[in-house]
Structure 1
Amino acid sequence: MRVLIDVFVALHIIGIAALLGGFLTQMKAMGAGTARFVPGMLHGALTMLVTGIALVGLDRADDHPVNNIKIGIKLLILVVILALIYVKRDEEKVEKGLFAAVGGLTTANIFIATLWT
């Protein structure tokens, strides 16, 4: 079971890398007001959602304790990120504030995952 959990953790990290990487590659464009949500950001967020749900299920199946409040907050943040990206995914330009919000929420989700014990 541990190997399976580790595989899903790796996939979860790949998802966050795609989401954050997509944001970081658009930082210069954000300064110019031409940033847009690239497909990799949506795919990364969806990967995080699927693997995160799988990880919670696997941890519970393996009798590991799960902090439901932490998971709930992370899920809420991810749903907001997904909603923003999904709604604006076809637009050529996204407002600076909206784009920055996705980056900030993504960063917040990383810090919640790593610092909240």
Structure 2
Amino acid sequence: MDVLIHAVVGLHIIGIAALLGGFMTQMKAMGKGEARMVPAMLYGALTMLVTGMALVGLNQAQGYTLDTFKIGVKLAFLIVILGLVYVKRDDEKVEAAAFGTVGALTVANIFIALLWT
């Protein structure tokens, strides 16, 4: 079961890399006011959601103790990210505030995962 959990963690990291990578590729365009939500951002966020839910289930099945408040905060951030990316995915230009919020919440989500113990 641990091998499966580690494999799902790997997929979760790939999801966050796609989301953050999509954001990083548009940072220069954000400075010009021409940023857009690229498909990698949507697919990365969806991957994070699915694998995150799978990780919670697998860890509970193993009997591990989970910090449900931490998981709730991370889920809330991800729902905001998904909402923004989904709603703005077809726009040619996205406001810098909305685009920056996606990046800030993505980075915050990473630091919560790493530093909140």
TM-score interval, smaller chain:
over 0.9
For structure 1, the 5+ residue unaligned runs are: none
What secondary structure sits across from 2:34 in the alignment? coil
Give 1:105 deviation, angstroms.
0.4
Runs of 5+ in structure 2 lacking a partner? none
Q: Which runs of 4+ in 1 moved over 4 A?
A: none
Quote the sequence identity (%): 68
Q: For residues 4-15 of structure 1, what are the structure 2 equivalents within 5 Å?
A: 4-15=4-15
**Whole-Å Cα distance in 2 between the matches of residues 113 and 67 of structure 1?**
11
Query: Which whole-Å deviations, capped at 9, do the CAs of 1:14-60 have from their partners, x for residues lacking one?
Result: 00000000000000000010000000000000000000000000000
Letter in 2 for 1:44: G
Aligned to 2:111: 111
Shift of 1:84: 0.4
1:70 aligns with 2:106: no
Secondary structure at 2:109 match in 1 = helix
Equivalent pairs counted in the alignment come to 117
Give the TM-score of the pair, scaled to structure 2.
0.99
Query: Counterpart of 2:66 in 1: which secondary structure?
Result: coil
Q: Which residue type is aligned with residue 114 of structure 2? A: T
The residue type equivalent to 2:14 in the other structure is: I
Distance in 1 (CA, whole Å) between partners of 2:3 and 2:65 is: 18
What's 2:57 paired with?
Answer: 57
Q: Are residues 1:102 and 2:99 paired?
A: no
Q: Find the aligned partners of 1:75 and 1:44 in 2 and give their Cα distance.
A: 14
